[in-house]
Amino acid sequence: MEEPKGTESVMTLEQGRRLTLTGVERVDSFSENAISLTVAGKRVQIAGTGLKILSFSQGNGNFAASGQVTSVRFGAAFRLFR
């Protein structure tokens, strides 16, 4: 099944401390240790310590956070950063 156009998302993680993500539909929950987002109808979970949301624009889907990112989970796929 092909994804509809316009649902692409790009994630950038700079030195494990600054994360940017495009295509974010909403912020579902957040704390110092976890941020849960919806991207293209799927959940993205960010885990770490000292996490802070720097910016989020629901209009264009741009999201930025800082803190020590230890993992990012996209639906069933799991990626670990150390």
Residue ranges per domain, the chain? 11-80
Q: How many CB atoms lie within 10 A of CB 23?
A: 19
Return all residues near 28 (Cβ < 8 A) that are at least 6 apart: 36, 37, 38, 43
Confidence band (pLDDT; 50, 70, 90) for 38? Answer: very high
Average pLDDT over residues 71-82: 66
Closest C-alpha to 46, from 23, 15, 8, 78: 78
Report the percent of the chain where pLDDT is more than 70. 83
23 phi and psi angles, rounded to 5 deg: 80, 15
Q: Label residue 81 by pLDDT band (50, 70, 90).
A: low
Q: What is the pLDDT of residue 41?
A: 84
Is the CATH number 2.60.40.2000 carried by domain 11-80? yes
